[in-house]
Amino acid sequence: MNFSEAQKRVEFLKEQINKWNYEYYVLNNPSVSDQEYDWTMQELMALETEHPELITFDSPTQRVSGEVSDKFNKYEHQNPMLSLGNAFNLEDLQHFDEQIKELTGLSAIEYTCELKIDGLSISLIYENHLLKIGATRGDGTTGEDVTVNIKKIRSIPLKIDQENLTVRGEVYLSKNNFEKINKEREANEEPLFANPRNAAAGTLRQLDSSIIAKRNLSAFLYYYVNATNDGIKTQSEALQRLAALKFKINKEFRICKNIAEVWDYVQTYQAKREDLEYEIDGIVIKVNDLSLYNRIGYTAKNPKWAIAYKFPAEIVITKILNIFPTVGRTGRITYNAHLELVRIAGTIVKAATLHNASFIIDKDIRIGDNVKVKKAGDIIPEVIGYLPERRSKNAKKWQEATHCPVCHSLLERTAGEVDQYCINSLCSKKITRSLEHFCSRNAMNIGGVSEKIIEKLFNLNYLKSFSNLYELEKYHQEIVGLENFGEKSYQNMINSINNSKTNSLEKLLFGLGIRHVGQKTAKLITHKFLTMEAIVTATFEELATINDVGPIVATSVVDYFKIAENINEVKKLAQLGINMTYHPSTNNNSNKFENYRFVITGTLSKPREYFKDLIESMGGATSDSVSSKTTYVLAGADPGSKITKAAKLNVKIISEEDFNKLLNS
């Protein structure tokens, strides 16, 4: 076959496969057999191998091959991806409707109701007909560029019949695929995903993009950005336009002429929730007329023209088969219930938290009891109480543990606290959990070091401390030889470990896992003392006087550095090249707001998180409530009651213009 014939054949095959992908992954109505699809794909791959110059960005073959990225680049959204305000009952919806009518001056409002897909929000940017960027929501202003992984989702077109478009939606995993993945992970002795949303998010952020294709992620698209610029007048029309462009939309949406019809829709799908092939956690209600959006407006975080009705947490009844303790990274003991298998919010649950010993005793929960279980925030299963009328005579009264379930050392409880603690610094579970925390994204951000890898390396005596992470290269051959591990995984892990050496000090301080020292507190402390040496020698008084630190945290930090093993570990980390200083913002005014406390309220030109991060990068503090300690209230449009409180307390109220003057002064 000459080049001209090959070119024509490739174009024909691409058109066929894209058509079949659309029928299968979007319409759920395949027109060819799997065998014919595979033959056609193989022919296309063969022709592209023979003529690599014919490979194009939108070729179906580009979805299949695996690519590995060392990291995901940040992507700044041109239009912020705002979150939605919540409604929990009919009264909340009626109040939303009244506000819309008041803001528009209209007596009747038409709404579009859509299912709230329980997945991961994404933004897709098309330029010159081709998918250029696929990004996660992130904090709404800045997300991650996951284009290489988005390309593997077959329901998302790589090329559209429109020159430029930004569209947003939700990546999700079907219930069937979720169950299939968890069965495979269980067989491989890997940690199970908690729910389909967790699995979808974990899959989309995989560094190996070939995994995405295997797990069959899908995506519903629902928001046409700047739709009115393209002559679209309503949200329902925008959905239809997206469908015409061959995006997968959720066809369960409905146009409702008033809030009463909205409530009917909510009740209908609350009842049908379990019958759907994907998870939903509520209903999104939007004003249908797009021309009203600017009149209705926005808060700093939410559009006022839309709201999310959240389904109430599902509560089920099952039996407690046993109660067992687990130990966390700080040594805190958490009690859990082993349950008879039960399905909650689309997930099979066999265990739930009972929090601590006092909770079990106060609730008088016993082994053998029939109990009510719910998912906190639809994520973590928890026992909320037992059914006295169903208590069996054989229900066994529970006794709290006296020794650690892992190292068997005696547990301790501090006076005035409900939690028990394992204080053995050599407890294996404390060590592995501490290492997981140290490597976590908000701490040292070391990728490629999963819970399973940590436990393997710990059991092989390669990894017993934080500093051991930075010495793993001497076990190169042994680690590469581990099951499900290879040279590429090893190099990714080592690169990530070495990259973490340059982190600013607050990352390390948080990673050490000092009790009561969270992310924000770590930043406040490191900003004050600047070096690890100064923190190690800091007195209780010096720590306790830092805004938002206080005596409990100060005691915890001082006690941590009284222990010789902890000081020695920090010294060893320093010797291994880990940065021990605070990196202030590159802004020359990094201390401009030191000892200033801001409260941010109302609608500003950018999301509140932008101003919060800017203030904190310059040494300032932010708070959600106005008090006598507040220096300034930064107020935008519709500031609410915080202005009134600020006036009563004689706290200075500034506009965004005033704030910018402060920045530039």
**pLDDT(142) > 90:** no
Q: Identify the pLDDT of residue 68.
A: 38
**Token pair 């997945």 in the structure block, residue:** 119
Report yes or no: 193 and 347 within 8 Å, Cβ to Cβ: no
Q: Identify the pLDDT of residue 587.
A: 47
Give the C-alpha separation, 615 to 62, whole Å. Answer: 44
Q: Which residue has the higher pLDDT, 484 or 134?
A: 134
170 is in an annotated binding site: yes
Give the C-alpha separation, 109 to 184, whole Å. Answer: 49
- Identify which of 25-34, 60-69, 182-191 has the greatest average pLDDT: 182-191
Which of 159, 179, 138 has its CA nearest to residue 609?
138
Give the C-alpha separation, 622 to 620, whole Å. Answer: 7
Task: Count CB atoms within 10 A of the CB of residue 296.
Answer: 18
In this structure, are strands 347-353 and 74-76 parallel, antiparallel, or unpaired?
A: unpaired
pLDDT tens digit sequence for 380-413: 788 888 888 888 888 999 999 999 999 999 999 8
Q: Identify the pLDDT of residue 637.
A: 75
**Token pair 């949303």 in the structure block, residue:** 197
Residue 478 tokens, joined: 């042994």
**pLDDT(64) > 60:** no
Give the Å distances, CA to CA, from 635 to 252, 595, 650, 664: 40, 20, 15, 18
Confidence bin at 300 (pLDDT 50/70/90): low
Catalogue all structural domains in the chain, each as residue range(s) with its CATH number. 3-63 (1.10.287.610), 85-310 (3.30.470.30), 321-412 (2.40.50.140), 428-501 (1.10.150.20), 505-576 (1.10.150.20), 597-664 (3.40.50.10190)
Least-confidence region, from 342-351, 486-495, 620-629:
342-351
**pLDDT(98) > 70:** yes
197 is in an annotated binding site: no
Kindly state the average pLDDT of the residues 331-335: 91
Q: Which residue has the higher pLDDT, 336 or 70?
A: 336
Kindly state the average pLDDT of the residues 87-110: 93
**40 residue type, one letter:** T
Kindly state the average pLDDT of the residues 352-371: 90
Element (H, E) at 283: strand 280-287
Give the C-alpha separation, 548 to 623, whole Å. Answer: 10
**Token pair 């530039």 in the structure block, residue:** 664
Residue 523 tokens, joined: 């930043």
pLDDT tens digit sequence for 525-566: 998 899 999 999 999 999 988 877 888 899 999 999 998 989
Residue 636 tokens, joined: 């935008």
Q: Identify the pLDDT of residue 28.
A: 55
Element (H, E) at 308: strand 306-310
pTM of the full structure: 0.53
Q: Identify the pLDDT of residue 34.
A: 59
Mean pLDDT for all residues in the chain: 86
310 is in an annotated binding site: yes
Confidence bin at 69 (pLDDT 50/70/90): very low
137 is in an annotated binding site: yes
Which of 175, 176, 169, 308 has its CA nearest to residue 249?
169
pLDDT tens digit sequence for 72-86: 788 888 888 888 888
Residues in the chain: 665
Confidence bin at 414 (pLDDT 50/70/90): confident
pLDDT tens digit sequence for 228-276: 999 999 999 999 999 999 999 999 999 999 999 999 999 999 889 888 9
Percentage of residues in the chain with pLDDT exceeding 90?
A: 47
Using a CB cutoff of 8 Å and minimum separation of 24, what contacts does 211-215 make? Answer: 211/66, 212/149, 212/152, 212/153, 213/63, 213/64, 213/66, 213/152, 213/154, 215/173, 215/177, 215/181
439 is in an annotated binding site: no
DSSP string, 80-143: -----EEE-SHHHHHHHHHHHHHHHT-S---EEEEEEE-SEEEEEEEETTEEEEEEE-TTSSEE
Give the C-alpha separation, 617 to 527, whole Å. Answer: 9
Which of 578, 583, 582, 535 has its CA nearest to residue 560?
535
Give the C-alpha separation, 567 to 589, whole Å. Answer: 33
Give the C-alpha separation, 665 to 662, whole Å. Answer: 5
**pLDDT(370) > 60:** yes
Confidence bin at 65 (pLDDT 50/70/90): very low
Confidence bin at 217 (pLDDT 50/70/90): very high
158 is in an annotated binding site: no
Q: Identify the pLDDT of residue 584.
A: 67
Task: Count CB atoms within 10 A of the CB of residue 69.
Answer: 16
pLDDT tens digit sequence for 443-488: 999 988 888 899 999 999 999 999 999 999 999 999 988 887 888 8
**pLDDT(602) > 50:** yes
Kindly state the average pLDDT of the residues 351-359: 89
Phi and psi (nearest 5°) for 6? -60, -40
**pLDDT(23) > 90:** no
44 is in an annotated binding site: no
Give the C-alpha separation, 134 to 150, whole Å. Answer: 6
Q: Identify the pLDDT of residue 43.
A: 80
Report yes or no: 382 and 349 within 8 Å, Cβ to Cβ: no
Kindly state the average pLDDT of the residues 168-178: 92
Kindly state the average pLDDT of the residues 495-512: 94
83 is in an annotated binding site: yes
Q: Identify the pLDDT of residue 203.
A: 85
Kindly state the average pLDDT of the residues 504-513: 94
- What's the angle, vertex CA 428, arms to CA 423 and CA 434, rounded to 5? 75
Which are the catalytic amino acids? Answer: 116
